[in-house]
Structure 1
Amino acid sequence: MNVIYPSDYFDNSKVDEMFKAEYYSAQESGLSCLLLSTQHVSNGKYKFSKGFELDAPVIWRGWMLKSDEYKSLSDAVTQNGGNMLVSLEDYLSSHHITGWYKSCEKYTPETIFLKENDDFDKVTNQLKWPAYFVKDHVKSLTTSRGSIAINAEEIRDIIESIKKFRGDIEGGVNLRKVEDIIKTSERRYFSVQNNVYSSDNIVPDVVVEIAQHISSPFFSIDMAENASGELRLIEIGDGQVSDTKEWEVDKFIQIFLNMH
């Protein structure tokens, strides 16, 4: 397995601080680790710290990439003799909620997909949900304001805040019905080539069931309990851009070693 990490912006021989612990753990475990020069990428160029190990798939472990950014990275990897484990199509199928919602509808809160300029007063009058969780195709608002709205005006405010803090709305606006979720119960699972892993070696049957609906070879599954004790799917994410959450870094790296 070849794993690409982003470099420090000012020193492309060092890994970006955010990924330091994982990078060193991956290196020590014997995985082929490469640094991608962050400064070069900002100028539209792709410079890797070394060549790829042939006949071993390539994954990215870094920040979230938009569709065109992922395509550019994937093309650069191919031009340098590598082969991405996750295709652009598979990346978007788990990174964007529109890629997984329909196949996982029964496991996750009800969601409607809208455009930024839709009439939210009309929509809320029709839905009449007690509260709305507002996000784009990828992320919600992570500031102290949070992403929960109770009316159209608050929905518009959250959309403006997402644009302010993240630059734009990616894909479109999603309104998710707020369920009585116990936030502290949230757990992240990773699926790698049809095997599902957890931080504590316990994988509930429903998580395995959900994983069978997703075509990507590497993705994350976030689950949480509701007030009735039922496990609900919070979201699917691309595994390459999902942080490790409650996982110990060495345990996370182990899932790639299992592929050998």
Structure 2
Amino acid sequence: MILLVPANPLRPRRPDDHFAAEAEAAHAIGLEVALVDHDALARGDALRAVAAVPGGDRALYRGWMLNSVQYDSFAAALSARDVILRTSAEQYQQAHELPGWYQALATVTPTSSWTIGSDRAAFDQACAELGTGSAVLRDYTKSMKHYWQEAAFIPDLTDAAAAWQVASRFLELRAEDFTGGIVLRCFEHFTTAEIRTWWIDGTCAMVGAHPDTPTDLPPVDVDLTEIAPLVAALDLPFVTVDLAQRADGRWRVIEMGDGQVSDRPATIDPRTLITALLAGVR
């Protein structure tokens, strides 16, 4: 088994600083670590990106976010070297893009509608499908929640002009990173900070803080009873599920992501993550 991590762009024989602790943890438990060139992956040169990866083994990836096309090229380039990623390109897209996981988790996540592309008429239709009330806007993979008032929150879905103004600002900020289409999610009031749960082969392996709020540790009594069988039914090898508690006490899914490209908060020891991940795939 090989752990693949991005190379440091300035010192390409070393892991990227952001993933160095996880690479060190992998070395400590006897896992081989190989470096990939993330910049080459991002510009579409997957063969160059994996040139330093030894052939003939299974692989786990922990690195920067890739879109689904980039990941597909990544997997194909590795396959040409007889290296098989634990997560297939199809599984990556299902976890990484909201339309891939929404139906399976619809009962535990805010009601959503989405477009294909960024057409205004399709956006208006998506707003109409949700009806009235407030919504949070994103694309298939990411929101701009740090620009909450101008590019994320829609106070009134029936105010078409104001809603499109928020969407237009979102599209401007996402620019070439815009993925898939515009997603609208009914606004729900949460009483806790988000937490990040880590799932390996459908089983929750860790519950921790969200990377945006690493010191807001989760309560000890997070109830996953409603959520766990739905995540397990997706049959995905390694995902994260971000949760927050609603005013009525129910834990709600804010986001699912592929675990390979989900950030680890500083309050989770890298050895804990790597040990859990390796135990789950051996």
Aligned residues: 257
Pick from 161, 181, 190 the counterpart of residue 190 of structure 2: 181
Query: Pairwise mapping of residues 98-247 of structure 1 onto structure 2 (< 5 A)?
Result: 98-115=99-116, 116-119=118-121, 120=123, 124=127, 127-145=130-148, 147-151=152-156, 152-168=160-176, 169-184=178-193, 186-199=194-207, 204-245=224-265, 247=268
Three-state SS of the structure 1 residue aligned to 2:64 is coil
Decide which moves more: 223-232 or 39-48: 39-48
Q: Is the 8 A contact 1:141 1:161 kept in 2?
A: no
Equivalent residue, structure 1, for 2:20: 20
Equivalent residue, structure 1, for 2:85: 84
Three-state SS of the structure 2 residue aligned to 1:77 is helix
Decide which moves more: 101-110 or 147-156: 147-156
Q: Is the 8 A contact 1:62 1:241 kept in 2?
A: yes
For the structure 1 residues 239 and 49, does the alpha-carbon distance in structure 2 shift closer, same or farther, using more than 3 Å as the test?
A: same
The normalised TM-score by structure 1 is 0.88
Q: In the aligned structure 2, how far is the partner of 1:12 from the partner of 1:43?
A: 18
- For residues 74-96 of structure 1, the C-alpha deviation after alignment (integer angstroms, 9 at most, x for no partner) is 01111122111111111111111
Q: Is the 8 A contact 2:26 2:33 kept in 1?
A: yes
Q: In the aligned structure 2, how far is the partner of 1:250 from the partner of 1:71?
A: 28
For the structure 1 residues 104 and 51, does the alpha-carbon distance in structure 2 shift closer, same or farther, using more than 3 Å as the test?
A: same
The normalised TM-score by structure 2 is 0.81
Decide which moves more: 102-111 or 143-152: 143-152
Q: Establish whether residue 46 from structure 1 lines up as the match of residue 49 from structure 2.
A: yes
- The code of the aligned residue for 1:65 comes to L
- The code of the aligned residue for 2:224 comes to P
For the structure 1 residues 162 and 34, does the alpha-carbon distance in structure 2 shift closer, same or farther, using more than 3 Å as the test?
A: farther
- The code of the aligned residue for 1:232 comes to R
Three-state SS of the structure 2 residue aligned to 1:258 is helix
Query: Shift in Å at residue 26 of structure 1?
Result: 2.2
Q: Establish whether residue 256 from structure 1 lines up as the match of residue 261 from structure 2.
A: no
Kindly, what percent of the aligned residue pairs are identical? Answer: 24
- The code of the aligned residue for 1:104 comes to L
Unaligned runs of 5+ in 2: 209-219
RMSD of the TM alignment (CA)?
2.4
Q: Is the 8 A contact 2:113 2:130 kept in 1?
A: no
For the structure 1 residues 4 and 203, does the alpha-carbon distance in structure 2 shift closer, same or farther, using more than 3 Å as the test?
A: farther
Q: Is the 8 A contact 2:120 2:164 kept in 1?
A: no
Query: Shift in Å at residue 130 of structure 1?
Result: 2.2
Decide which moves more: 81-90 or 23-32: 23-32
Q: Is the 8 A contact 1:112 1:175 kept in 2?
A: yes
Unaligned runs of 5+ in 1: none
For the structure 1 residues 145 and 232, does the alpha-carbon distance in structure 2 shift closer, same or farther, using more than 3 Å as the test?
A: closer
Q: In the aligned structure 2, how far is the partner of 1:26 from the partner of 1:136?
A: 34
Q: In the aligned structure 2, how far is the partner of 1:238 from the partner of 1:48?
A: 24
For the structure 1 residues 82 and 121, does the alpha-carbon distance in structure 2 shift closer, same or farther, using more than 3 Å as the test?
A: closer
Q: In the aligned structure 2, how far is the partner of 1:40 from the partner of 1:58?
A: 19
